[in-house]
Chains A and B, each alone.
Chain A
Amino acid sequence: MAAEPKELRDDALNGLRLSTQLERVWRTPPGLLGALMSVDHKVVGRRYIVTAFAFLGLGGLLAVLMRIQLAGPEKTFLSADKYNQIFTMHGSTMMFLFAVPVMEAFAVYLVPLMVGTRNIAFPRLNAFSYWMFLFGGGFLWISFLFNVGPDVGWFSYVPLSNLQFTPSKRADVWAQMITFTEVAALAVAVEIIVTVFKLRAPGMTLDRIPLFVWAMLVTAFLVMFAMPSVMVASTSLILDRLVNTRFYDSSSGGHPLLWQHLFWFFGHPEVYIIFIPGTGMVSAILATFARRPVIGYPIVILSLIATGLLSFGLWVHHMFVTGLPQLGAGLFTASSMLIAVPSGLQIFCWLATLWDGRLVYRTPLLFVIGFILIFVLGGLSGVMVASVPIDTQVHDTYFVVAHFHYVLIGGAVFPLIGAVYYWFPKIAGRVLSERVGRWNFWLAFIGFNIAFFPMHILGLIGMPRRVYTYTADMDWAHLNLVSSAGALVFAVSFALLLVNVIYSLRKGELAGDNPWGASTLEWATSSPPPPQNFDRIPVVKHRDPLWADGESLPVVAGLSTDRREVLLTSLAEAEPQVREASPEPSIWPLLTAIATTIFFIGSIFTPWAVLWGTPPMAIALIGWFWPKGSKEDEA
């Protein structure tokens, strides 16, 4: 009887032979088909990031168009109908196609590297998630270009979005886009949670997890518990429109406010789904450029968790003017103000870190400092609108527009741009130009404040949101002109970022493994990382392993080198438990996404699509899960 072939493990190989063997096993197959089959979290993460930034560019372009229209009174640059579509597309694109996806995209790329594993949990689901995001976003924008873009606001309030007031397919396009992005976001949330819980490097106990990873873990839980609400809301909306259900029809027992409750139960945590990853980025950048760990690690984590929990108790503050009972309004005022406490605690921790650190003023740190200044202002106006009397006064005025742009751009986009400068060397292997980066920062900081600060005053003197023009006798012209000029400067800062990225991809300074001297595990591998991430899985003995371990990284040996294998560890102590097979590249996630897209788009036009659209989805899913005698099946 022939002896069983011996499994090849990494303890039998070293150096270049080990790297070469692992690269052969973990690489994405060559060619177009290989690219479509990729399940490497870095490949998917890069695609996600680039696509999300493309949507940022498109959403930003719409913002510029709006600001041109509003730069002076009674302009006819845009019609009222086009303006409605544009502000709806701007909000929907920024919230659903840029802000949430880009944060999850960074997590998809970075979390597996930061926790010291070779791939994300459920890599095929990850690939499927990206395709769904791409198809959903593409569907929305193609609809817009064919003049079927939604025009009822990014919140799509009923009865405005009912069949009676929006008889075209515009609101259906919006509702189905929501479903696409939900599927994508929920899939990533599950992947991130399982990656953090089970794929951490040995020794990375709960109190050694990097703060960025903690932030993404909390965000993933928020996605998981907030998004089902908008799923129920948007499904009910499309059912009302397609098969005459009566969820929001007050003549048949339905209620329009049900929409607002369901939407804002998702919509307010959404703000924190965008903001919390930004705080994780800030913590990562700050520690590196202050040359010391963030002060108050447990306080920051508890603040993240508290912010996440409290974010579910605030949704009614979007509904203060809908005539809810006083007691409820008081409760939601209190909880809206209370959430400033954990956010404030984090800011104090960061300020203390800055105070105590040896600061290196590189571009990522500049964006972090910009973040602190802008976000604090946004937070202060947030405390103001949390109060019922003030909210009643400024509701649906430009004050609110100013407030949430200060919070979202200050709280998320500034850290994000800092993160681009910070992690670009790891992703691309080259450093972005520092000189252009400083121009980028100052133009962004000055342009942003010129664009959005006047909106506070415009709101206070009565300019409502979502109006496509105004008359000259309103005295809003000067401030609007200033705001539009600032928006153009802000837009130029993004153009500069794009130029910097394109230039540095070709001619930027080579990065090396750890150009900033950072402490977390993603910097322990080469830049860009090889397909297998790490030749051997690191062992973590400290919160800042690269600072504590010096030149020698402790690692484990014994994983397979002839098939894809990841190491699973225990939840709390990260003790090694299982060597589990990791899926190989597959075309089925793409085919499943195509089948799902046909199902969703078909169901806009006929309820029968639910019947004929299901079998292709079922076939694709079976194809996805069915083992094909591959190496992963031999484990």
Chain B
Amino acid sequence: MSLVHIRRGRVGLAVAALAGTAVLLAACSGGGGGESTGSGAGGDLIVGTTDKITFIDPAGSYDNGSFAVMNQVYPFLFNSQYGTADVTPDIAESGEFTSPTEFTVKLKDGLTFANGHKLTSSDVKFSFDRQLKIADPNGPSSLLGNLASVEAPDDTTVVFTLKNGNDQTWEQILSSPAGPIVDEEVFSPDALTSDDDIVAGNAFGGQYVIDSYKINELISYKPNPDYKGALGAAENSSVTVKYYADSSNLKLDVAGGNIDVAFRSLSATDVDDLSKNDAVKVVDGPGGEIRYIVFNFDTMPFGAATSEADPAKSLAVRQAMADLVDRQALSEDVYKGTYTPLYSYVPQGLTGATEPLKELYGDGAGAPDLDKAKATLEAAGVSTPVTLNLQYNGDHYGPSSGDEYAAVKSQLEEGGLFTVNLAQTEWVQYSKDRTADVYPMYQLGWFPDYSDADNYLTPFFTADNFLVNHYDNSAVQELITAQASETDAAARQSDIEQIQELVAKDLSTLPLLQGTQVAVVGKDVDGAVLDGSFKFRYAPLHK
């Protein structure tokens, strides 16, 4: 046998051995890498998501993906119990206004972080001070705009001094992305702390600790035995979160049983498809996201800065549009029920939410009414068809925006009252243009900072609102200011309801849809709670 033959023989043998080993090992893997789930109290669960993490340092991120991690591992002074949007003390024993500008919190005794460090009022002061000091542009420090200072007179007492007294959103803010309490012995006081340092420092005091961490790939959580907050202990032995880039892969894995829970964000068609799959359950709940059209009061037809300025005609155009939009059709045809019709400014599920647009416009029951729209325009002396330049964005609010606005266009043009020029702009340019009076009417969406009606009113309907749409109603302004510091809950709710009534008459914006939270879970998985807090907690999940 020649040397060449020997070499070739060895190579051939090696290739054959490799191939054989691969086949054998693949067979050992159970035919395709299917997941075997562990056992234990409540079981080990795998959650899949397409969300992305920016940083797990609460000062460095203000997005759903990062906040989802924070909700599991950091303690909050206030938090919402499962099933409600309203907040109550979490690691706090109590919290109340001890003077109009002082909110005093008493911590529970004996709190510790998972690394053994004591969790005292000093950590609480540290957490809020560093938020304000770092003020990272990607962080949530803007939510603390009303915070003047924090004091820690003893180990279990924290006093927040606020700029504006009786801030009724303060407890919500304590439960918001600005509110996680961090370990002052691990976190930097004036700079962001890296994810690796946080994980290595085991600086967690929430329901879970992070057992292993690979950003945007895989995170493994274990229940934190030291958590003494109001939400209680986890009902499972561990949770692993797998991060997907593509929702279709997420769908395939939940349908195939490779993961136990899929939460955020399956497409409408995937949810529709999965709802027919016997191997999984679709769980839904109210969503905080709203989608709406903004009217620029200066540049819309008959707007204040146009050559044919006429407030009455301008209002009639908005009202006729409100008469014609068919939210139910948008919900079902475009979003397969993953968004529901929205007839107000505060979404359903939050305290104070009403539905004034349902009665005021269309057929009075939520459906469109062409005759009413025609009558409204005629009464105001508006010649038809009115040309509407409607702008939307295709890359920020999901791929279905195009379908949504194509449907809105055809709904508005039905009956010949309007001619709609639909245009799309890329998000960066869109963001600049919308506040520069470029668009007479345009698409926007909103996801709340915290679960309170105020977060759907103050940013939109005050005179210096972030829409910069030149809407200014002094009665609305007064009510918004009043509700923010109204200590009587019933009176505050009444204020919130009145604001919705007034704005519904003015139609500063035209609400269309409210997002629905959807989780798809395996048939053997229970405990998925989707509520008005818009926080998806892993702790109640179990098999």
The answer to whether A and B interact is no
